[in-house]
Amino acid sequence: MIHSEIKKALAILNRGGIILYPTDTVWGLGCDATFSAAVHKIIGLKGRSERQSFILLADSVAQIERYVTQVPEIAYSLIEVSDTPLTIIYPDARSAAQHPDGLAPEVLAPDGSVAIRVVRHPFCSMLLQQFRKPIVSTSANFTGRLAPEHFDSIDPKLRQQVDYCVDPACEPPATGKPSSILKLGCNGEVQIIRK
C-alpha cells in the first residue's frame, strides 16, 4: 500500500500540486520546494505571511549538499547523532533566482538561509528518494491554529483543499511534536532556535 501512496503523491508533486502527508513529526502540507507556484499555493491555503520561510525535508545529506552552498562540518555530526527529528538552518542556500536548479526563493529566509531536516520516517524517506528534490513541510493547519498531532485532528476544510491526501495508514511512526531547530553559521556556530 505504501508504494501506491508514494506513486500517487509523486504524480501530484510532479505537476506542482499540494499533498497532505505524514512526516516524522506532525502531518504536513507539502510541495516541490524548487517550484515557486506550488509554494505560493501553500502560502495561500494556510493564510501564511509571504515573508515566513519554510522547513524542507530531504532524504540525505547528499540531497542537502545540492541546495546549500557550503554545509558546515558540524552539520554532518549533528545529523548522525540526533535520535529525534532535528531541523538545521543552513547559511547560503542556492536560490532559483541565481541557480537554474535551486530552491524557490519563497522557501528561504531573508538572509538566504534555509531550514532542512533529514527524515527517517519510512513514507517520507521513500517519497523523497523517488522525488529526488526537497519537499516543503509545513504543519497541516491554517495559520494561527494548533498543529495537528495526528490525522484525525486535521481541519476537514484543509483536507478538502489539497490536491492529494495520503492514506492515514501511512502515519506511524511519528512524534506528534515539531522538530528541534538549530541554526548554523558559516564557521560552525550553533544557535538553538527551538528545543
**How much is the mean pLDDT over the chain?**
91
DSSP letters for 50-73: TT---EEEESSHHHHHTTBS---H
Distance of alpha carbon 95 from alpha carbon 105, whole angstroms: 6
User: What confidence tier does 182 reach under pLDDT thresholds 50, 70, 90?
Assistant: confident
Strand bridging mode 86-90 / 55-58: unpaired
In which band, very low, low, confident or very high, does the pLDDT at 50 lie, cut at 50, 70 and 90? confident
Q: Tell me, what DSSP letter sits at residue 149?
A: S
pLDDT band at 175 (very low <50, low <70, confident <90, very high): low
149-170 average pLDDT score: 92
Range from 24-28, 125-129, 187-191 that averages highest in pLDDT: 125-129
Strand 28-30 and strand 55-58: pairing?
A: unpaired
* Residue 5 near residue 106 (C-beta atoms within 8 A): no
Mean pLDDT of 129-153: 91
Which of these, 23, 32, 28, 33, lies nearest to 46 by C-alpha position? 28
Mean pLDDT of all residues in 51-56: 89
Find the mean pLDDT for residues 125-135: 96
Which residue type, as a one-letter code, is found at position 67?
Y
Half-sphere exposure of 71 (CA within 13 A, CB side): 19
49 pLDDT above the threshold of 90: no
User: What pTM was computed for the model?
Assistant: 0.93
Q: Per 3-state DSSP, what percentage of the chain is helix, strand, and coil (rounded to 5)?
A: 30, 20, 45
